[in-house]
Structure 1
Amino acid sequence: MFANVKTALMAGAAVLAAAPVLAEEVNVYSYRQPELLQPLLDAFTEETGIDVNMAYLAKGMVERLQAEGDRTPADLVFTVDISRLAAVVNAGVTQPITTEYLQEHVPAQYHDPDGHWWGLTTRARVVYASKDRVADEDVTTYEDLADPKWEGRICTRSGTHTYMLALTAAMIHHHGEEYAKEWLEGVKSNLARKPEGNDRAQVKAIWAGQCDISLGNTYYMGQMLEDAEQTEWANSVRLLFPEFDNGGTHVNISGVAMTKAAPNKENAIKLMEFLTSPAAQELYAEANHEYPIAPGTEATALVESWGTFTADDVNLMTLADLRDDALRITQEVDFDG
């Protein structure tokens, strides 16, 4: 049995599966690393007296929940990216939860219309641009990235990565599949190299002079600034916040969902509401260099210093529903080839 959060973090998923159910606890499966969540969970336990037992699952969460079925000890799932949230929902292992508090603190575009998942923080997918070779006004829209002026100047990770597929899905939403496919072809023709590496690897390539701009999530700037080896990469670029021609800046989320067989449902609801409270949202966002979403909350001074933007108002579940189309056209244009 897990006595507290720290024990849970050390013991891992195997012990959590064997833990007996207690009245004053809540059990979590998390895609996010434990150290990013521990301050929040400690604060919740201090406020409520409810212990939080967390198992970190780097992969296989859906398969595990399906295998456990009604015997699962998990009450909540923490994950990042709308595609992962949607995958859990589509697997039939979650249940809808709607409370007045959740509705007041989570804007409509950041929760499932049916209540199967609720957003906690957001991150924008933006352009990392060389301070020396790119001006602020050079990139104002995502559509601009297909302009031939960028030929040989763009770096990006694989087009089939979940972050890139979400952006492509948003392009489909705004302009239709035919336009989105042409856009992908245009971006591909502008690549300086074959897609490879993660978002930070693209910034390193800009620093090394291999390309001038890249696509990346905002929080990677904060992570690079905290890494002595990567600080120089971060200082070589600025963040630009493009928009869609008929929309805002593309964002994605971290979120929480309740399992279908949650054994500690009432305690789990308390944790969900705690996580969407303004104070908890700001603490969570600070730990991850993200943006809190509750009305009246603010990002950290560092995150705010990167620039302001208007988030696209499409409900993210709409983008999740377009993921398969985004993957198909990405493969049709052989984006990674």
Structure 2
Amino acid sequence: MPTSLHRTLLPLTFTLLATPIAMANEPLRITGPRLDDPQAPLFTAFTEATGIPVELVMLSPDELNAAMATEGEPPVDVIMVVDSSNIQAQLEAGGFQPFESEWIETRVPEALRNLEAGWSGYATRARVIYVNPDKIDWTPQSYEALADERLTGELCLGSGRSPYNVSLVSSMILHHGETEAERWAKALVANLAQPTGGRDGELLRAVAEPGDCAVTVANHYYYLRMLESDDEAERVLAEQLELVWPNQEGDGLAGRGAYRNVAGFGMARGTPRAEAALRFLEHTAGDEIQQDVAAGIFYPVVAEVGEANAQRRLGTARMDPASMSELGEHAEAARTLLERVNWQ
């Protein structure tokens, strides 16, 4: 990656000038969810390319927020975030610092990054509808249709505390306003076949297996994992499901596309390793990492690396172009709304 593409804001420049040369070979400290494999290609490729080792720091969200609220050097240099609501939480906690990168700006779509806020995405996922056609003779084709009375007693949903559902409701607030989004969420609760709860994989199995659940909403990669599982029983269950890409037809909001969210990394506020952190953030937008993303279960943020495995297996779909920053701004309103409608 050309170093000429590196540009930094003035506060960041001061940090770099104050950084001892000896710090160059110190580990880059990264925290976030699902970082339990220090040998993951995302990290090993970075170390091989730069010589900078990576140290994974395991912190709970509460521990991270408390640490970032104190003065002095932060416990990490880079923070992984897996959802727009998590990004917003870090922004409100003052966990990120801004940076500039022409490389990221030319590679990552604007809706999937906010360098002024201190973060950039490296992979996306879609939250879509699944039905068991043997259990129901009508298939909802949009998120709005999940509120239809024809789904009374047919719908199963995860917890309202899940960041994935918080962000889904945030998207409804963004597109329809809070009043209409609340009416929609209340109707979904009225359509429940059982109390809310369970991870996405459990919800998919509940729809596939005998029982009351006929429809659910889950991230695309849980279904993809079932399709590609070494366990034949999982593959058989997946065959009972029909994936519905929502909001693909019509004008305006009706055809806005499937709701998506982002996984990414932010530069920790006050890090003394800002230069290394910037190199890592730019590394995640490079062809090697983006091709790894495309070959796995997520969608790359850089379209130029080619067709994703998920696209080959699940089909091509229109995605909602909504900005992750805009979604995050509605996260708190979404949480409050979920409590009001008793989506527990």
Q: TM-score, normalised by structure 1?
A: 0.86
Relative to structure 1, is the Cα distance of residues 239 and 37 closer, same or farther in structure 2, using a 3 angstrom cutoff? farther
Shift of the alpha carbon at 1:248?
Answer: 2.0
Alignment check: 8 A CA contact 2:29 2:78 kept = yes
Indicate the residue corresponding to 1:71 in structure 2: 73
Indicate the residue corresponding to 1:200 in structure 2: 201
Indicate the residue corresponding to 1:221 in structure 2: 223
Shift of the alpha carbon at 1:69?
Answer: 3.7
- Find the aligned partners of 1:196 and 1:139 in 2 and give their Cα distance: 21
Indicate the residue corresponding to 1:315 in structure 2: 323
Indicate the residue corresponding to 1:333 in structure 2: 341
Matched, 1:242 2:262: no
Secondary structure, counterpart of 1:125 in structure 2? strand
Shift of the alpha carbon at 1:37?
Answer: 6.7
Alignment check: 8 A CA contact 2:96 2:118 kept = yes
- Find the aligned partners of 2:285 and 2:268 in 1 and give their Cα distance: 18
Matched, 1:297 2:298: no
- Find the aligned partners of 2:39 and 2:98 in 1 and give their Cα distance: 23
1:52-94: CA deviation from partner (whole Å, max 9, x where unpaired): 1222335435324325542224211112111112211211121
- Relative to structure 2, which stretch is displaced further, 78-87 or 327-336? 327-336
Relative to structure 1, is the Cα distance of residues 42 and 255 closer, same or farther in structure 2, using a 3 angstrom cutoff? same
Amino acid at match of 1:267: A
Q: After the TM superposition, which residues 1-337 of structure 1 pair with which residues of structure 2 at under 5 Å, given as runs?
A: 22-24=23-25, 25-35=27-37, 38-66=40-68, 69-112=71-114, 114-133=116-135, 138-209=139-210, 210-224=212-226, 225-226=228-229, 228=231, 230-243=234-247, 244-245=253-254, 247-287=256-296, 289-336=297-344
1:256-313: CA deviation from partner (whole Å, max 9, x where unpaired): 00011112111111111111113212213544x1100113133543543212222111
Secondary structure, counterpart of 1:197 in structure 2? coil
- Find the aligned partners of 2:117 and 2:307 in 1 and give their Cα distance: 25
- Find the aligned partners of 1:58 and 1:40 in 2 and give their Cα distance: 21
Relative to structure 1, is the Cα distance of residues 202 and 322 closer, same or farther in structure 2, using a 3 angstrom cutoff? same
Indicate the residue corresponding to 1:16 in structure 2: none
Shift of the alpha carbon at 1:227?
Answer: 6.2
Secondary structure, counterpart of 2:164 in structure 1? helix
Amino acid at match of 2:282: E
1:298-331: CA deviation from partner (whole Å, max 9, x where unpaired): 3543543212222111111111111111122221
Q: TM-score, normalised by structure 2?
A: 0.84
- Find the aligned partners of 1:113 and 1:189 in 2 and give their Cα distance: 41
Indicate the residue corresponding to 1:17 in structure 2: none
Shift of the alpha carbon at 1:238?
Answer: 2.6
5+ residue gaps in structure 2?
Answer: 1-21, 248-252
Secondary structure, counterpart of 2:146 in structure 1? helix
Alignment check: 8 A CA contact 1:32 1:78 kept = no
Q: RMSD in angstroms over aligned alpha carbons? A: 2.2
5+ residue gaps in structure 1?
Answer: 1-20
Relative to structure 1, is the Cα distance of residues 296 and 235 closer, same or farther in structure 2, using a 3 angstrom cutoff? same
Aligned length: 314
Relative to structure 1, is the Cα distance of residues 118 and 230 closer, same or farther in structure 2, using a 3 angstrom cutoff? same
1:67-124: CA deviation from partner (whole Å, max 9, x where unpaired): 5542224211112111112211211121011210010111011112624111110000
- Find the aligned partners of 2:57 and 2:33 in 1 and give their Cα distance: 9
- Find the aligned partners of 1:41 and 1:297 in 2 and give their Cα distance: 19
Alignment check: 8 A CA contact 2:300 2:308 kept = no
Secondary structure, counterpart of 1:119 in structure 2? strand
Alignment check: 8 A CA contact 1:238 1:306 kept = no
Amino acid at match of 1:28: I
- Find the aligned partners of 2:58 and 2:39 in 1 and give their Cα distance: 11
Secondary structure, counterpart of 2:243 in structure 1? strand
- Find the aligned partners of 1:23 and 1:120 in 2 and give their Cα distance: 24
1:150-169: CA deviation from partner (whole Å, max 9, x where unpaired): 11111111123211111111
- Find the aligned partners of 1:255 and 1:331 in 2 and give their Cα distance: 28
Q: Percent identity between the aligned chains?
A: 28
